């Protein structure tokens, strides 16, 4: 009863029917095709036949290949965190994009610089200039405190 008093009878009916509809749609249809879940239902996936279930087929990959790819991904993430700690957040993101796109994704230098500089510039303008995010201190910022004195490059 307390629930009904807080949102009213109409709101309670709406919430119950929404959840019932989402739960009824989860699972498999009669034809054996996956049915969309709650997000898919809200986006209209039930009408188009498109579903959001991620199906991954590793084909002929061995367990060793899969674990080595997972380990490489984990090391890239640790490298990014270490770079953030050493040189600062935005410079580390720029450096990570440059190194990852060129060596792991094997993109051309033109594509690497185009993507990295555009994302780096957009992140700088949005987070540093427009939103004025206070960046955490980095090791290089502690070693060379004058890097923090100029507001436009106070990223360290």
Q: Per residue in 32-49, pLDDT tens?
A: 555 545 555 455 544 555
Average pLDDT, the chain: 77
Instruction: Extract long-range pairs of 3-8: CB within 8 Å, 24+ residues apart.
Output: none
Q: Let me know if residue 19 belongs to a domain.
A: yes
According to DSSP H, which parts of the chain are helical?
2-25, 38-42, 45-48, 63-87, 89-99, 109-123, 139-143
Reported pTM:
0.61
* Residue 129 and residue 73 in one domain: yes
Confidence class for position 1, pLDDT limits 50, 70, 90: very low
Confidence class for position 123, pLDDT limits 50, 70, 90: very high
* Residue 7 and residue 37 in one domain: yes
Q: Let me know if residue 58 belongs to a domain.
A: no
For tokens 């084909």, the residue is 59
Q: Let me know if residue 121 belongs to a domain.
A: yes
Mean pLDDT of 102-115: 94
More confident position, 2 or 113: 113
Residues of the chain with pLDDT > 90: what percent?
Answer: 42
* Residue 68 and residue 138 in one domain: yes
pLDDT above 60 (res 116)? yes
Domain that holds residue 19: 2-48
Token digits of residue 22: 């989402």
Per residue in 72-83, pLDDT tens? 999 999 999 999
DSSP reduced 3-state for 128: helix
Cβ proximity of 152 and 132 under 8 Å: no
Token digits of residue 134: 């206070």
Q: Let me know if residue 125 belongs to a domain.
A: yes
Confidence class for position 104, pLDDT limits 50, 70, 90: very high
Q: Let me know if residue 136 belongs to a domain.
A: yes
Number of domains in the chain: 2
Per residue in 5-35, pLDDT tens? 555 555 555 556 555 555 554 554 445 555 5
Q: Let me know if residue 22 belongs to a domain.
A: yes
* Residue 32 and residue 84 in one domain: no
């Amino acid at each position: 009863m307390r629930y009904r008093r807080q949102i009213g009878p109409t709101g309670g009916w709406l919430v119950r029917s929404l959840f019932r509809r989402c739960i009824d749609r989860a699972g498999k249809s009669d034809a054996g095709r996956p049915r969309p879940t709650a997000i898919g239902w809200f986006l209209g996936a039930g009408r188009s036949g498109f579903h959001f279930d991620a199906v991954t087929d590793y084909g002929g990959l061995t367990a060793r290949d899969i674990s080595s790819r997972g380990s490489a991904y984990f090391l890239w993430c640790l490298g990014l965190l270490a770079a953030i700690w050493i040189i600062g957040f935005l410079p580390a993101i720029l450096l990570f994009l440059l190194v990852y796109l060129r060596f792991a994704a094997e993109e051309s230098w033109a594509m690497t610089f185009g993507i990295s500089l555009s994302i780096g510039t957009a992140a700088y303008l949005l987070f540093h200039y427009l939103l004025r995010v206070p960046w955490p201190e980095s090791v290089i910022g502690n070693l060379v405190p004058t890097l923090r004195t100029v507001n436009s490059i106070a990223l360290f």
